[in-house]
Structure 1
Amino acid sequence: MTNPFENKDSTYLVLINDEGQYSLWPASIAIPHGWNIAFAENTRAACLNYINSHWTDMRPNSLKKMERKDMS
C-alpha cells in the first residue's frame, strides 16, 4: 500500500484551518474537523503551487493577532 499523501498520480485538495495553516490533502480521504477547502481538487503539483503562492507567512493567525495587539 502506498502512502496517500505522497501519491503523485492521485488528486488532492488544499485545506486551511482557522489558524491560516494550509495542508495538502488527498481528495479520497474525508476532510478532518476544523479544516476547510481552500483550493478544489486538482493535481498534487497544482495544489503545492497554490500552497507555495498563498502561504507566505508561516505564523499562525493567533500569533499575528497577538503581535498586532503588542504594536497598538
Structure 2
Amino acid sequence: MQDSNLFDDSQLIFRVLVNDRLEYSLWPTVAGLPAGWAESFGPASYEACASWLERHWQHLRPSGLLAKGGGRG
C-alpha cells in the first residue's frame, strides 16, 4: 500500500502561504498552518492557488537577497 501525499493531491482544497522572507507555498487546508507562515490566498482549488502564485510570485529569491541586490536568477 502506497502512502498518499497531501501536497500532491490536487483534489483537496489548498491555500497559498507566505513567510516573512516572501517565500510562498501551496498548502492543503487539511494540514495545520505551520509556524512562521500566514495565509495569502485561499482557501481554493489547487488550480486556483497555482494560478494565483503564477500571477503574484514574481521572483524566487528570498526578500533578504532582493533587498541587498544579491542572488542570481
Normalising by structure 2, report the TM-score. Answer: 0.86
In the alignment, structure 1 segments of 5+ residues that lack a partner are: none
CA distance in 2, matches of 1:8, 1:55: 20
In the alignment, structure 2 segments of 5+ residues that lack a partner are: none
CA distance in 2, matches of 1:27, 1:14: 10
Percent of aligned positions that are identical: 32
* Pairing partner for 1:8 from 10, 20, 39: 10
Counterpart residue identity of residue 30, structure 1: G
Report how many residues are paired. Answer: 68
Cα RMSD after superposing both structures = 1.3
CA distance in 2, matches of 1:34, 1:59: 18
